[in-house]
Amino acid sequence: MEVGLTHFLIVSAILFSLGLFAVITRRNAILVLMGVELILNSANINFIAFAKYGGMKLDGQAAAVFVIILAAAEAAVALAIVLNIYQRFKTVNVDEISAMKE
Amino acid sequence: MVQQILESAKFFQPETALTITFCVALLVSLFDKKGTMVGGLVFCGLAITALLLVKQACTAGNVTLFHNMYAVDGFSTFFKAIILGSSLLVTIFSFQSNELLTAKRHLGEYYALLVAMTLGMFLMSGSSNLIMMYLSLELTSISSYILSGFTKQAEDSSEASLKYVIYGAFSSGVMLYGISMIYGLTGSLDVYGINEALQAGTVNMIALFIAGILTLVGFGYKISAVPFHFWTPDVYEGAPITITAFLSVASKAAGFAMMIRFFTVAFLDSTAGSLTLGTWQALQGFDWNKLVAILSVLTMTLGNLVAIWQTNIKRLLAYSSIAHAGYMLMGVVVLSSDGIAAVMIYFVVYLFMNLGAFYIVMIVANKIGSESIEDYKGLGVRSPFVGIALTVFLLSLTGIPPTAGFVGKLYLFAALINAKWFWLAIVGVLNSVVSLYYYVKIFRNMFLREPAPNAGELSFSPVHIVIIMIMLLPTLIIGIYFSPLVEIAQASVTMFGVR
């Protein structure tokens, strides 16, 4: 069986759903951020698969490179924020971090 | 290739000035412990950017730069002016904030990040390529995650930054997935190419609809539209007041500019005949404007209804800013240059009245150390000028004549009625009535309630009064003499790619 565009799209859709699932169900801030990474990477797979199989120009590949760099920048900031939260609250459970009331 | 980049750079001067300011501010902040020098430097940098922007507005027509990556047109220049105006005012506010001094960190970084955020918002308002939109949205977001947690000793501020980063990263990730789907469907990342592919009519509309909704998540998060607003109240309450004010005006303006450009240009049906000049039609099969109408109703209704119960004034203004995003979405719905001009007029008005309200909240918090509405009891007696100024800003936010807020709402509703969106206009008017209730609660506390027994007179320095006047005068003048503003806005609606 030839591996084609559809296979890549299915993998990326599964990855996206897993990421969404992680963000919604996990209460640990680090795990939520890992879910976000999964979502970003599923989009990357889409970009590259479309660029390769769709007969399009290199736009998709370039987009994926930018997104990888950006994900690293975002992870750096997010982890610094989580570290600061841990020093203040001694927990990284998002449900327990609510000093502000509704 | 090189030739085109050099040509484009000529139209990229304001952004270049911001980039240089950012780099210099970052370097100087290494040596400047207190950050006052960096603050002054940043203010000068922003002022130079303002000059370049004015020069550009006078000379440049509608052009796209860097192979359709970025558009310079009346529309983006107008939004850039709003963004720059608010960043100048917020820089001035920051010089006087006591809250920021408690951060015990180098304030230089704060000012540098403020410039980075301004640059991100400039790029947002001009981007005409989806990846460029995503990158500039992230540039804005990452800077604002850090800034909203800047006073990291405070628990509120840390919590705000965590919530912001989680919601922000998630929403922009979903948006990116939507963008990748649009890329796959149309084979192009820039809005003009997408429009061509869509007009050719070979795109599966159901798939496009799903991709459009996923992309809308990112826009909705940036302008804090319901149901993507969950971060807004916590972030606005927890972040330093200066940053709250900045987020509520500038980042919302940038989000609107980006969203209007994307939906209008990409889904424009330029073959539709029998339309009067200044109106356009969305492509058949994806009525994005009906979707936005629903968002608009949800946003203003929820914002106004929840604001009624708030006891913290920052949180109240957060919900009020959600409601205002809802009002402005009404202007996007109508698909006409009138509607977009109304959004632009509203943003100018909103800049002055909302920043004014936040500034007064900040200086009052500096004096009495509280943001609770209860503690505003008798403020009108303790400091009549500040009390009256806050009342004017709140009346303007409600939309009562003769303040500027009335003019903003008037043009929004006029655009809606011209386009025969009567039900939406009625919902908007009813919402304005609801909003009166919670704004009145504040000035009832200020003027009709007795101050606490040990509370003496509050005096504010002349500098504070001058800065209040900078925002108070336009709020009153635009309310009476608004034709120049309206003319400028109507002349600036020209968007590259839309007739």
How many other C-beta atoms are found inside a 10 Å radius of the C-beta of residue B470?
Answer: 15
Nearest to A82 among B135, B162, B170 (CB): B162
The pLDDT of residue B123: 94
User: Is residue B235 scored above 90 in pLDDT?
Assistant: yes
Domains of chain A: 5-89 (1.10.287.3510)
* Cβ-contact B129, B194 below 8 angstroms: no
Question: Within 10 A of B6 (CB to CB), how many other CB atoms are there?
Answer: 9
Distance from CA of B340 to the nearest CA of A (A): 30
**B contacts of A47 (beta carbons < 8 Å):** 180, 183
Number of residues in chain B? 499
Q: What is the pLDDT of residues B300-322, one digit of tens each?
A: 999 999 999 899 999 999 999 99
Query: Which residues, 6 or more positions from B226, have their beta carbon under 8 angstroms from its beta carbon?
Result: B295, B298, B299, B302, B303, B322, B326
Q: Which of A9, A74, A89 is closest, CB to CB, to B138?
A: A74
- Give the mean pLDDT of A73-100: 88
Cα–Cα distance for residue pair B240/B328, rounded to 1 Å: 25
Quick: pLDDT tens for B41-72: 999 999 999 999 999 888 867 888 888 889 89
- The answer to whether the peptide bond before residue B453 is cis (omega within 30 degrees of 0) is no
Q: Which positions ≥6 away from B225 have C-beta within 8 Å?
A: B219, B295, B296, B298, B299, B322, B325, B326, B329
Distance from CA of A2 to the nearest CA of B (A): 20
pLDDT at A101: 59
Q: Residue A79 has what pLDDT? A: 94
Q: Do B180 and A43 touch (CB under 8 A)?
A: yes
Confidence class of residue B91 from pLDDT cuts 50, 70 and 90?
Answer: very high
Q: Please determine, for residue B79, whether its predicted confidence score (pLDDT) is greater than 60.
A: yes
Q: What is the mean pLDDT of residues A73-92?
A: 91
Is there a contact between B131 and A66 if contact means CB atoms under 8 Å apart?
yes
Report the C-alpha gap between B268 and B264 in whole angstroms.
Answer: 6
Chains A and B form CB pairs within 8 A to the count of 115
State the Cα–Cα distance between residues B137 and B82, nearest whole angstrom: 17
Query: With contact defined as beta carbons under 8 Å apart, do B115 and B18 qualify?
Result: yes
CA distance B63 to B496: 7
With b meaning 16 or more CB within 10 Å and e meaning fewer, what string describes A61-98? eebbebbeebbeebbebbebbbebbeebbeebebeebe
Has residue B221 got a pLDDT over 80?
Answer: yes
Phi, psi of B159 (to 5 degrees): -60, -40
Q: Which residue has the higher pLDDT, B364 or B102?
A: B364
Q: At what angle do helices B422-447 and B288-307 cross, to 10 degrees?
A: 20
As beta bridge partners, residue B456 has: none
The residue in chain A having the minimum alpha-carbon distance to the alpha carbon of residue B151 is A84
With contacts defined as CB-CB under 8 Å, which chain A residues touch B184?
9, 46, 49-50, 54
Q: Flag whether residue B162 sits within 8 Å of chain A, measured between CB atoms.
A: yes
Does residue B397 have a pLDDT over 90?
Answer: yes
- Read off the pLDDT of residues B325-382 as tens digits, 9 standing for 90 and up: 999 999 999 888 889 999 999 999 999 999 999 999 999 888 888 888 888 888 888 8
Per-residue DSSP letters for B325-357?
HHHHHHHHHT-BHHHHHHHHHHHHHHHHHHHHH
Under an 8 A CB cutoff, do A97 and B152 touch? no
Confidence of residue B104 (pLDDT cuts 50, 70, 90): low
Mutate to test the interface with B, among A11, A61, A77 (most CBs of B within 10 A): A77
User: pLDDT digit string (tens) for B223-234?
Assistant: 999 889 889 999
Residue of A nearest to B136 (CA): A70
- pLDDT for B448: 87
Check CB contact under 8 Å for B170 and A16. no
CB contact under 8 A, B187 and A33: no
Task: Say if residue B132's pLDDT is above 90.
Answer: yes
- Express each pLDDT in B169-188 by its tens digit: 999 999 999 999 999 998 88
Residue B135 contacts A where some CB pair is shorter than 8 Å: yes
Q: Residues of B375-395 as b/e, b for ≥16 C-beta within 10 angstroms? A: bbbbbbbbbeebbebbbbbbb
Contact (CB<8Å) B173/A50: no
Residue B499 in this model has a pLDDT that exceeds 60: no
Judging contacts by C-beta atoms under 8 Å, the chain A residues touching residue B176 are: 39-40, 43, 67
Nearest chain B residue to A35, by CA: B170
Best residue of A8, A34, A39 to probe chain B, by most B CBs closer than 10 Å: A39
Query: Are B405 and B398 in contact, with CB atoms under 8 Å apart?
Result: yes
Kindly report which listed range (B150-159, B407-416, B435-444) carries the lowest average pLDDT score: B150-159
